[in-house]
Structure 1
């Protein structure tokens, strides 16, 4: 704020800078859309490694190429991916369990626990309930276990009262990554395991023989031996420790941990006995008159309540992949996601109908143009020869877009699921190569050549010769080649609009991607201009900001030319923004740049000079 000058002297005022920088945006964040084993449906999830994909989406799945594409992406240098799980409409179901309560003397469902995402994975979840809380007569604890992944979630002090600050729905639904809860009544769910009657203040005689059966294994033991077991317990906590020690000392069935891992939990004046197992069949039952006299068996439940009924969704069809823009499903779920630069739809390669494939690519192209995304298209798996590729490329004429590139053939990789070689769509690996190239050289460098090696690739489904490559390249079909020593490489860098017959302006992949990068960076970097006074001072600031950003790209080698004047220009003045534009609130900025185009053909002339015959 201005300094108030109240006396003669020297005043210091700090002035904010009027220079605003345009920061470059990301270039290689890749979106993968398709079928996965698990994960939220039609919700973009950003991941930074394949281990995270395994945790969130279930890892590799037979018949679902998205998992393999993501694996190849990170294996070839990719850093960040956005995954959207899509399933065929009307398929897939969430596993669930309805927990019952006998507090009202007749068993009835009171709490529904449902897997957070559809799929058979949810049928492996287990729920444990106990009432070991500071208020054992009113609240309860809930644990969710996933034995396959080892994940465990615990929620304590839950209430079935909707007015309580620990109401079960609010706590579980906000904090769980595995399940959702829905209260069906006001009674609490019964604890898992076997629950005793309330003990009196004075414990009964404990020197009794007990019979216990867990699952199919029955054992007999003496609860308390005077002298051998030390002082007799005088409260419920001491009784719980004694009973747990005795049960754990009993022999288990071979390979079982039901007795050795048993837990006895005191809560209030009661005991809860839970087998050391996640098998719902391992129910703890105390047998005989002595056990009945002690009140060790009034409520008998399995040690865990299993979720069931989960069903995997079927692989999505064309309509499912295209999705709904209004409902943000399928590829349309990416419309609200910032910083997505590449799009891979590896399932398209397996379509029997090229027409369906083109339909999805066309819808994806509209998304890519709106969001400034570049689409990586996999050639159909049916193209098993050069002749098939030459005959089939004509079907892609309706989608000859400069926002897409198609790659042929498929990659031969060792499938981690089977250990055998299989053919896989290459777009995931191509996206990884692009990310690696962008990081090492820049978005203006063609992601092809001897540096564009396809890591982890054993071979190519269709080996190509120079002559065959020469037949496909002019058609705008980017070839993957294998060379001695170098191995499998990306050997093409044309967009779908880059066929020789089209003579398009955006023939090259790096030129189009550089333009998209500049457009998005300038779009974000000039947002501050909105609502500023539209005059020469504003135009000068725009020119300064944009020129600084482009000059930085020029110094990195993004443009052709030896001087900035030859490489780029920025115009924003009275010639670009007329008085009529000013009246309508418009400021026009014109940016031009001279891209460096890839050297697709290297011509070497060799001349031999014969000796002087006169000599």
Structure 2
């Protein structure tokens, strides 16, 4: 109660109604499986379209497992996400699994990145699966590009563009001499690499009849801008050399701002132009951009507003600022760093397209009076070079260990199904492609299936959508089903035939991606209490096996949901049973509806924790849950023509003993009459005569 210690008027806010419970989402799906690229140690952000998946992972190219890539097959994860969104799915998470050619992932990722000698027996591939490229010659001007994540999709193209900016040299009136000007600079930061055109640094060469010999990078008028504590500027020639701390190439070759000549005529006089780097990362086929970063400084250790933002900071292995960049840039100099300025330019000069020399045609251009002016004009337009990463691979076909995953709180990462445990809003889990190549790895596939079931049961509010292996006959499917029993899982057969946009041929795909999308569409268009069956499979052009009514009469009682083709009604999902032996949990919609109710009540009654455990709290809890269930009954989710027949809520002395109260327990008993699906619709018809009475 508030304290009132002085006379006055006090206004308080009070509540005269019970708390409300909001229904939770039931359509968010968690997929797990191998992909050609993308994060392994962290799950994706929530995906709302196939385009978002492709931006984070890959665009559906077939995968190749094994050291020789001989075990190739469809990209099942991409196909499942595509089917999910086509069938009506709205939101999904993805946990990518990866099994390297040797060892486990990650063993020591940082050491692996730093070690260039990680090639497998096949020199084209790397054991850890990460593609690599080296830029520059062997020396202080060399650095390495490594794909941040493993996979054949990591054989990226990295486009570097060097460009000179506008002249930042300006002037202010001299306060002591109104006719004089004082040089100043604008839009320049300490550590920026600049190109200086100044009478103090060079004398324009006289025109010659033929192009001169190519200039070395060290001969270019490259400087590093330095700002003193008092705000004064100086410019150090040649950039920075490796060392601790980095040292100027020649401290005596320094220009002060006062050394520059000002000319009021636009385009005349000295100039200071910032030299910046832009990096764009493209997919392995060059068709998609994975990200672009512009205005990057060439100086290691460069900071903006106190935040490191050089290319070796932005594209580092760790750090929040670089977590989403698809590549990592590593200094390849033992005991030092790649220097700024000319060192980095010298490395980039090794790329095709970045050339600090002039062609005869460029030399003959009448606009250019000397070689440096011509090179400066080239840099103003931009010089672009491309580095190609190689050696990335899809590793080995993942198995039980990869799907189960690992979690290391000290390193703040999780893999496999353990990633999905941290995501509360997932209601459906599936592992598309986990049953592929069943005959060669029976035990592994069965273990992954059991892991998926265990995960759904442990997380309580989820259902696992299980795939049968490809090519199974009815007897084999029944044998597989006989080994499973869970009220948190449903089994589907046969595989769905689609038109593959990658190979432009018919392709059989596991059902889980389609089923998860149908679940989501059913919940959105109807409700979670409606059985997700008798729904059109939008992406199907056929099924691996056409199931007859007589065959389904054998499979349906055993909890094997099938896809059927009906003349004039198309391709449909024709089953909604779990694999539970408990008749109370026979139907998928009952299981999912109870998960919806339980999770909604769980989230909507958190306010009750640590409240005084007495009559007032019990009444409030009863009212909160009753209001929620009345709304469910009114929407048609519960059986009964009155709320009293549809549910009951008890929270009083009849549900709690004194021992419960003494131990801080509030026990609420809730009974619900759920709707079961009309699985068998029976019309009894007999003859009737007009003279008979009703």
Q: Given the two structures, how large is their TM-score scaled by the length of structure 1?
A: 0.77
Classify 1:19/1:612 alpha carbon distance in 2 versus 1 (closer, same or farther; 3 Å).
closer
Matched, 1:190 2:344: yes
Correspondence for 1:357? 445
**Contact 1:463–1:481 at 8 Å: present in 2 too?**
yes
Equivalent of residue 76 in structure 2, options 57, 65, 85: 65
Answer with 168-177 or 514-523: which moved more.
Answer: 168-177
Matched, 1:570 2:649: yes
Matched, 1:177 2:325: yes
Quote the Cα distance in structure 1 between the aligned partners of 2:407 and 2:379.
Answer: 54
Question: Shift of residue 503 of structure 1?
Answer: 5.1
Correspondence for 2:379? 264
Q: How does 1:32-181 map to 2 (within 5 A)?
A: 32-45=31-44, 46-62=46-62, 63=73, 64-89=75-100, 90=102, 92-100=128-136, 107-108=139-140, 111-128=143-160, 130=162, 132=164, 134=188, 135-136=192-193, 137-138=223-224, 141-146=277-282, 147-150=286-289, 151-154=291-294, 156-157=296-297, 159-161=299-301, 165-168=307-310, 169-173=312-316, 174-175=321-322, 176-181=324-329
**Contact 2:529–2:593 at 8 Å: present in 1 too?**
yes
Question: Shift of residue 515 of structure 1?
Answer: 0.8
Matched, 1:435 2:524: no
Correspondence for 1:270? none
| Aligned residues between the structures | 524
Question: Shift of residue 192 of structure 1?
Answer: 6.4
Equivalent of residue 423 in structure 2, options 334, 337, 343: 337
Quote the Cα distance in structure 1 between the aligned partners of 2:568 and 2:353.
Answer: 67
Question: Shift of residue 588 of structure 1?
Answer: 1.5
Correspondence for 2:474? 389
Question: Shift of residue 191 of structure 1?
Answer: 1.7
Quote the Cα distance in structure 2 between the aligned partners of 1:98 and 1:308.
Answer: 10
2:686 is paired with a residue of what secondary structure?
coil
Q: Per-residue CA shift, 1:528-572, capped at 9, x if unaligned?
A: 222222222221221121112222211111111111111112222
Give the gaps of 5 or more residues in structure 1: 196-211, 245-262, 267-272, 277-302
2:155 is paired with a residue of what secondary structure?
helix
Equivalent of residue 676 in structure 2, options 582, 589, 597: 597
Q: How does 1:488-527 map to 2 (within 5 A)?
A: 488-497=571-580, 502=581, 504-527=583-606
Correspondence for 2:468? 379
Question: Shift of residue 130 of structure 1?
Answer: 4.3
Question: Shift of residue 580 of structure 1?
Answer: 1.2
2:507 is paired with a residue of what secondary structure?
strand
Matched, 1:221 2:361: yes
Classify 1:190/1:566 alpha carbon distance in 2 versus 1 (closer, same or farther; 3 Å).
same
Quote the Cα distance in structure 2 between the aligned partners of 1:583 and 1:487.
Answer: 61
2:482 is paired with a residue of what secondary structure?
helix
Classify 1:167/1:610 alpha carbon distance in 2 versus 1 (closer, same or farther; 3 Å).
closer
Correspondence for 2:509? 424
**Contact 2:135–2:143 at 8 Å: present in 1 too?**
yes
Correspondence for 2:246? none
Question: Shift of residue 465 of structure 1?
Answer: 1.7
Quote the Cα distance in structure 2 between the aligned partners of 1:98 and 1:349.
Answer: 39
**Contact 1:559–1:593 at 8 Å: present in 2 too?**
yes
Task: Tell me the C-alpha RMSD between the 2 structures.
Answer: 3.3
Matched, 1:307 2:385: no
Answer with 601-610 or 424-433: which moved more.
Answer: 601-610
**Contact 1:22–1:525 at 8 Å: present in 2 too?**
yes
**Contact 1:390–1:472 at 8 Å: present in 2 too?**
no
Q: Per-residue CA shift, 1:330-370, capped at 9, x if unaligned?
A: 22221111211111112133222544333222222221112
Classify 1:316/1:213 alpha carbon distance in 2 versus 1 (closer, same or farther; 3 Å).
closer
**Contact 1:35–1:316 at 8 Å: present in 2 too?**
yes
Quote the Cα distance in structure 1 between the aligned partners of 2:295 and 2:132.
Answer: 18
Matched, 1:26 2:141: no
Classify 1:99/1:132 alpha carbon distance in 2 versus 1 (closer, same or farther; 3 Å).
farther
Question: Shift of residue 157 of structure 1?
Answer: 2.7
**Contact 2:158–2:280 at 8 Å: present in 1 too?**
yes
Q: Given the two structures, how large is their TM-score scaled by the length of structure 2?
A: 0.69
**Contact 1:29–1:79 at 8 Å: present in 2 too?**
yes
Quote the Cα distance in structure 1 between the aligned partners of 2:687 and 2:631.
Answer: 45
Question: Shift of residue 577 of structure 1?
Answer: 2.5
Quote the Cα distance in structure 1 between the aligned partners of 2:131 and 2:519.
Answer: 40
Question: Shift of residue 405 of structure 1?
Answer: 0.6
Quote the Cα distance in structure 2 between the aligned partners of 1:222 and 1:57.
Answer: 42
Q: How does 1:248-259 map to 2 (within 5 A)?
A: none
Question: Shift of residue 144 of structure 1?
Answer: 3.3
Answer with 305-314 or 404-413: which moved more.
Answer: 305-314
**Contact 1:94–1:119 at 8 Å: present in 2 too?**
yes
Quote the Cα distance in structure 1 between the aligned partners of 2:398 and 2:550.
Answer: 38
Classify 1:308/1:6 alpha carbon distance in 2 versus 1 (closer, same or farther; 3 Å).
same
Matched, 1:13 2:12: yes
Quote the Cα distance in structure 2 between the aligned partners of 1:194 and 1:334.
Answer: 42
Classify 1:577/1:440 alpha carbon distance in 2 versus 1 (closer, same or farther; 3 Å).
same
Give the gaps of 5 or more residues in structure 2: 63-72, 103-126, 166-187, 194-222, 225-238, 240-275
Quote the Cα distance in structure 2 between the aligned partners of 1:7 and 1:190.
Answer: 75
**Contact 1:192–1:305 at 8 Å: present in 2 too?**
no
**Contact 1:130–1:191 at 8 Å: present in 2 too?**
no
Quote the Cα distance in structure 2 between the aligned partners of 1:85 and 1:12.
Answer: 56
Quote the Cα distance in structure 2 between the aligned partners of 1:482 and 1:21.
Answer: 44
